[in-house]
Amino acid sequence: MCGIVGYIGSKEKKSIILSGLKELEYRGYDSSGIATMSGEKIDCFKAVGKLSNLEEKTKNFTSDGFGVAIGHTRWATHGKPTEINAHPHLGEYSFVTHNGIIENYQEIKDELEKDGVNFLSQTDTEVIVHLFEKFNEELKDPFKAFEKTISKLVGSYAILIISKAAGDTIFFAKNAVPMIIGQDDNGEVFFSSSDAPLIGYVKDVVYLDDKMYGYAKKGVVEIYKNHKTIKPQKHALPTDRSYAQKEGFRFFMEKEIYEQSTVATETMMGRVKNGTIKFDEISPEIFDGIDEIVLCACGTSYHAALTASYLFERVAKIRTKVEIASEFRYKEPFLNKNSLFIVVSQSGETADTLEALKIAKDAGLKTLAICNVDNSSMVRLAGNVILTRAGIEKGVASTKAFTTQVMTLWMVVLYLANLRKILSNDELKNETKALLNLPKVLEVDPKLHEKIRRISKHYLHGHGFFFIGRDVFYPLALEGALKLKEISYLHAEGYASGEMKHGPIALVDEGLFTIALLPKNTLYEKTKSNVEEIAARDGFVLAISPLEFELSDDFIKTSEQEHFMSEFFEMMVVLQLFALEISIRLGNDVDMPRNLAKSVTVE
């Protein structure tokens, strides 16, 4: 989830691009870069880390006079966050910036390399600029070359190209990630990934639709789709920057819940293909001789790991253990040399998980980090890494990171099951079909959100919450309870439904809320009996299920899904929205709950 800006005009280009990037920093910033062109003069600067590093690097540079400029903040998905991998990427005489993932970059790269093109970076993006220049040499027409380039790309992209071949022009294209264009009264043109950088420069903007592309010069913006010119509708820009950064949502957490559908696509891009699973970043050998999986994490990431443990055992038929990192560190663990030790972490910096990883590594175990932040301590330390590609997560309460962790782990399970020939082709196809359906499952239905907002008022009093479920819905219950307690400060616990009768049910009375996860595909009757026991003791029950449950006091109907993991993710969204709406009603700061930090780098 990177950020992109572009500008055509006579103002000081560096300042416009840098101030635009500043507004986009919330989208991710492991590195950033800028390229400006005035006439034949091209300048490019890149820096690793925060945007202030790029500001420092460009402090003595000015770019007055008419020209074009593009800039980028990066959140690494292919290649480390280094200067070489930062955008803009250079061909011979053109620069490109890109958000998204080019799924078929390896095929394109192989062909270009055969033609003698040298690649500098490890990114998927660099192929775009070389392809553009190759076609420009063939066609001697930069726009036709751009059109042809776009037609070869598979994946998601917001692309800006500047080139000496058309010094007054920016070429642009958009598919599956946002791109916005605005023009001021003097015909100067501005591009951005979101509204915030454009506020103050233009009054209205065009939100490009997927597969739109075109070119812009001063006073001219030509937009095409399927080779035909489009005259898209303009929309007034919001005027409040912080509102614009949250893209119209009240809190970053809310925005991140809504983003889950998009990031799910990114997580799978290039990995779920033709009915099977592929990871460019790991080699099958890491599973050689492995007879056990040990998953280790904290908090929400622990819940993702616990969810995955059911899948590893059931689908990949391998013994699996899950460890809370803070416990693992001091329990003098008895380690099996044939275990693959997997740490799961959004930040890659959590002290307990990092220490656990060191213990496993020192003991000679093979290690794998499932992480959202490239170049983080865990990514640097682990023997193998798979990035979850959730983009930066601003809300302290983790939402989209959890989604991508569970998805990535599920993909690893399928990868292993396929490697060991445990699943038939049809079974694997069925699983990948369920994965590919997730972006749809994760889309937030506004009617559902409104219903949750309305019923949330029933839950502001009482003496606590039980979240209950079975199988993978047990870790989901734990996660639902954690989300609620983190941001509402209400007392909530997650339990395995079958455990209620072994003690917790003693707490049930009319002041205790039970949030019951009743999926159709997993142990429905068993969980239902547990909920009936609670209803019989006058507990207040919110049932979340595709099947009507007559004993519930509140009911949220989910869809009839074919796969239990689709039910899992649909219910997860319900639980996230439930916690959010209760917390908003209580007047809490959802994004920065008391006593919590986004990254826990202390013991």
Residues labelled as active-site residues: 2, 598
β-bridge mates for residue 293, sequence order: 320, 340
Q: Which is nearer to ligand F6R, 417 or 482 (CB)?
A: 482
User: Looking at 88, 178, 299, 593, which residue binds ligand F6R (CB under 6 A)?
Assistant: 299
Q: Interface with ligand F6R by CB under 6 A: which range of 80-88, 297-305, 316-324, 418-426?
A: 297-305
Residue 109: what residue type? K
Catalogue the E-assigned strands of 176-246: 180-183, 189-192, 204-207, 212-217, 220-225, 228-230, 235-236
From residue 143, how far is each of 62, 167, 181, 209, 534 by CA, in Å? 29, 12, 18, 19, 67
Q: Interface with ligand F6R by CB under 6 A: which range of 72-80, 185-193, 288-296, 339-347?
A: 339-347
> Which stretch of DSSP H or E encloses residue 434?
helix 425-436
Burial of 462 (0-12, 13-18, 19+ CB in 10 A): middle
Half-sphere exposure of 248 (CA within 13 A, CB side): 6
* Residue 323 three-state SS: strand
Q: Tell me how long the chain is.
A: 603
- Hey, what are 124's tokens? 């998927």
Q: Which is nearer to ligand F6R, 6 or 395 (CB)?
A: 395
Cα angle 297-300-306, degrees, rounded to a multiple of 5? 60
Q: Measured between alpha carbons, how far is 2 from 89 in angstroms, rounded to an integer?
A: 15
User: Looking at 194, 307, 346, 566, which residue binds ligand F6R (CB under 6 A)?
Assistant: 346
Which residues in the 455-484 window bind ligand F6R by CB under 6 A? 482
Q: Measured between alpha carbons, how far is 543 from 14 in angstroms, rounded to an integer?
A: 55
Which residues in the 301-320 window bind ligand F6R by CB under 6 A? 301
Q: How far is the CB of 467 from ligand F6R (least distance, A)?
A: 14
Q: How far is the CB of 435 from ligand F6R (least distance, A)?
A: 22
**Residues near 340 by Cβ (< 8 Å), separated by ≥ 6?**
286, 287, 290, 292, 293, 294, 365, 366, 367, 368
Contact 366, 290 (CB under 8 A): yes
Q: How far is the CB of 126 from ligand F6R (least distance, A)?
A: 30
> Which stretch of DSSP H or E encloses residue 142?
helix 142-152
Q: Measured between alpha carbons, how far is 144 from 532 in angstroms, rounded to an integer?
A: 66
Q: How far is the CB of 446 from ligand F6R (least distance, A)?
A: 24
- Hey, what are 208's tokens? 């490009």
Q: Which is nearer to ligand F6R, 136 or 353 (CB)?
A: 353
Residue showing the smallest CB distance to ligand F6R in the complex: 299
**Residues near 20 by Cβ (< 8 Å), separated by ≥ 6?**
5, 7, 71, 190, 192, 197, 198
Q: Is residue 347 near ligand F6R by the rule CB under 6 A?
A: yes
Q: Which is nearer to ligand F6R, 121 or 398 (CB)?
A: 398
- The DSSP code for 150 is H
Q: Interface with ligand F6R by CB under 6 A: which range of 6-14, 242-250, 293-301, 560-568?
A: 293-301
Q: How far is the CB of 298 from ligand F6R (least distance, A)?
A: 4
Q: Which is nearer to ligand F6R, 221 or 322 (CB)?
A: 322
Binding mask 211-250 for ligand F6R (x = CB under 6 A): ----------------------------------------
Q: Residue count at the site for ligand F6R (CB under 6 A)?
A: 15
Half-sphere exposure of 574 (CA within 13 A, CB side): 29
Q: Which is nearer to ligand F6R, 230 or 600 (CB)?
A: 600
Q: How far is the CB of 47 from ligand F6R (least distance, A)?
A: 25
Q: Interface with ligand F6R by CB under 6 A: which range of 74-82, 219-227, 345-353, 517-525?
A: 345-353
- The DSSP code for 467 is E
**Residues near 472 by Cβ (< 8 Å), separated by ≥ 6?**
307, 310, 311, 522, 564, 565, 568
Which residues in the 546-585 window bind ligand F6R by CB under 6 A? none
- Hey, what are 183's tokens? 């023009």
Q: Interface with ligand F6R by CB under 6 A: which range of 263-271, 287-295, 342-350, 501-509?
A: 342-350
Residue 411: what residue type? M
Q: How far is the CB of 267 from ligand F6R (least distance, A)?
A: 15
Q: Which is nearer to ligand F6R, 84 or 600 (CB)?
A: 600
Q: Measured between alpha carbons, how far is 552 from 547 in angstroms, rounded to an integer?
A: 12
Q: How far is the CB of 599 from ligand F6R (least distance, A)?
A: 6
Q: Interface with ligand F6R by CB under 6 A: which range of 160-168, 205-213, 295-303, 448-456?
A: 295-303
Q: Which is nearer to ligand F6R, 266 or 349 (CB)?
A: 349
User: Looking at 290, 363, 422, 600, which residue binds ligand F6R (CB under 6 A)?
Assistant: 600
Q: How far is the CB of 598 from ligand F6R (least distance, A)?
A: 7
Q: Measured between alpha carbons, how far is 537 from 501 in angstroms, rounded to an integer?
A: 12
Q: How far is the CB of 398 from ligand F6R (least distance, A)?
A: 3
Q: How far is the CB of 75 from ligand F6R (least distance, A)?
A: 15
Q: Interface with ligand F6R by CB under 6 A: which range of 36-44, 130-138, 298-306, 538-546?
A: 298-306
User: Looking at 101, 298, 318, 435, which residue binds ligand F6R (CB under 6 A)?
Assistant: 298
Q: Which is nearer to ligand F6R, 563 or 598 (CB)?
A: 598
Q: Interface with ligand F6R by CB under 6 A: which range of 276-284, 341-349, 492-500, 586-594?
A: 341-349
> Which residue from 99, 77, 2 is spatially nearest to 404, judged by alpha carbons?
77
Q: Which is nearer to ligand F6R, 202 or 577 (CB)?
A: 577
User: Looking at 267, 300, 339, 377, which residue binds ligand F6R (CB under 6 A)?
Assistant: 300
Q: Which is nearer to ligand F6R, 149 or 345 (CB)?
A: 345
Which residues in the 349-408 window bind ligand F6R by CB under 6 A? 350, 353, 397-398
**Residues near 186 by Cβ (< 8 Å), separated by ≥ 6?**
9
Contact 83, 45 (CB under 8 A): no
Residues at the interface with ligand F6R (CB under 6 A)? 298-301, 345-347, 350, 353, 397-398, 482, 486, 599-600
